[in-house]
Structure 1
Amino acid sequence: MIKAINLHRSYTIGKKTIEVLHGLELHIRPGEKVFLCGPSGAGKTTLMYTLAGLEMPQQGTVEIGGKSIYGLLTKARAEFRNRMMGFIFQNYMLMPELTALENASLATAIAGREATQEVTALLDRVGLGNRLDHLPNELSGGEQQRVSIARALAHNPEIIFADEPTGNLDSRNSNEVLDLLFSLADERKKTLVIVTHDPNIAKRGDRILTIRDGIVCDEA
């Protein structure tokens, strides 16, 4: 499903160049739940964004379903991303002026598809069937993350990328959100790529890819 080949990415801060990805390679199979781990600053989020077509590598390539995503023009890459991928973020990234139903419908709206009935059913599946008309500030952190899970799945993508999805939640809500995400991924046969700094959470996946010194240094 996802193949990274010889990825290089560096940043220049003042006169200093920091190499974040240094010839990194990995392969993620369809339907896998893979956690990207490593110390702070190791490049976990940079790698996730690069795999998702959001941050172009300075060298190397990413293939998804056999297609080189950085070989596509910008518009075509965005369309491919919108069709193939869903995203969940630590800070939920909900639009404050939109209701839970409207936020969860954003991805289908971008795709030009009316899917209110399907999105409503998905929000009911994540336990928010009675909160459709609530704004984000009327929802708890756990409820907001459930909305973002529904939004990520609403357009039926093949891959879900999640960047520290439980980072703002307490342990009980963290486990509930992960249980829900894993259950929905299994039901819908989705590939999960999750960034986390928490080794206890990472143990719940099929594999752990540890990023250190710009490469995948071990797999478990």
Structure 2
Amino acid sequence: MTVPLLYNKETSVAVIFCLPVIPALFPGTGERATKEPLDWPKRSQIVRGIAQGAVYLHKLCEPRIIHGGLKPGNILLDASLKPKICDFGISKALKADADKDCTGVVVGSRGFMAPEYKQGGCLSLQTDVYSFGATLLQIIRGKHISPSSLALSDESRNYGPLNKWAWNLWKDGNLMELIDPSLHDETHAAELKRWVQIALLCVQQSPEERPSMWDVLLMLSCDSVILPEPKLPAYYC
């Protein structure tokens, strides 16, 4: 189905028409990039806005919409840092009785691509959850990549560059090594560590083991929600 023309400013979703608003998400990215990294309160605002937008697409749109390409490069920010989800080129509008759309065609950015989409070309609401988790890890890490000393297979390096590193550091209790050095402030350390765990839940290998975007938004918004223990993430090799 064709994705309908839609704009909803309250839920931070812009469909079809997206303007190059500023500032850029990370310093050094784009022509109008900010000179200083965004602090954690600003990044957390952006993350919640992205989650709200995804919930709108998944639950409040009629028909429901799979974005298919969530990643930092498809998140634009206005002057107040309110995120807009853009680039709906591979999005799918779900039929009322369907929960996925399988075309067999695989396009998109490898580092944010769910394994079931990579392998079979099937998009679902849970592929968006995976992409959101990969995006959250990138926002927490900043523009820095995983260390070259980390043993990664070609698949892991190409498709899940932060998954293995985040998992290993989470298991070892050394998550501050993952977090952007500009965010090393004990004031937000507990929330940052919690959000890494949420991201790991989103990038689980099996779609059935990932939370819904509604549950993700609840986890991000309410610290009293007890988080499940994540399992090995996708592309852990």
**Structure 1-normalised TM-score?**
0.28
Structure with higher helix content: 2
Structure with higher strand content: 1
**Structure 2-normalised TM-score?**
0.27
